[in-house]
Structure 1
């Protein structure tokens, strides 16, 4: 009988590998690990939980107990996965995407997220997109037009405007910095 555990602070593919390692070290059988959750072969017993929690904590993760935290973690994981690691652009808007993936009405997801995180889902998406744009600027392999297209901005002007609003710099000013500053994804 499969069960699902929710894990806080998973923001990248390396996080998935680190959680798999912790699950193995704690002798917790699992089917699959995604950003923010793991499908385990059976519910955790007390011994497994007490073994797993410190292993996860040592790697910067945390088991989530309540459903609210799990939903918030899932929302963040889906957004981060789509913006930072997906090669395919969304064919629908984020509200439809999140609603479909989580099987819940977007307005309730939005209210829950805002009440817990003190920012809107839209603001979280914007911050994630800007961090991804920073990364692409630093890599210096795409033009700003290509970045705007890849990140689903309607124009370079829209991207530049949003970038300046979030960072206080234009993309060009950011690029000219000696060591452009990026933020860890789990702190956004």
Structure 2
């Protein structure tokens, strides 16, 4: 694992100088919410706003996911969102010598100041207890997947963010998650607005 993290560090240092490009599935390079259709026995659900989500229900793994959806739908920068369930968005990563698949939690389309035709596609991972594999997932997203997809230039702009310590918010949950989500979105938007204003 140490070698993998050294490799991540080297790759991160060369972002912008030696562009990484993502290798897409040649048989299924593009996913769509049009094709999401599955059965479930889960009882925790959030009925989405048709203005913000093509899928009529978010099937939640816990109450915080429903609250997360509520906050997204009330945020003035959010233009669309979807839970990554049945969507087919998977990211390969390595945990030591073992190849695994990472399935992100949500994809949120955010207006970060570039206008309605150039929204930021923000992958949001919500973490309670941050296990060791979470570090490898985050490193893969930041060092390979996000720059790789952005360098293709055909799928818009992408970013990755973690919302950590969700389960520590259990007390006064409703009051705590909204500021946390707002801060996450604003921080990402501020970063991308700063990058847009930087000289080339």
Length-normalised TM-score, structure 1: 0.27
Larger radius of gyration between Structure 1 and Structure 2: 1
More strand by share: 2
Q: Bigger relative contact order, structure 1 or 2, given CA contacts below 8 A and separation 6+?
A: 2
Scaled by the length of structure 2, the TM-score of the pair is 0.26
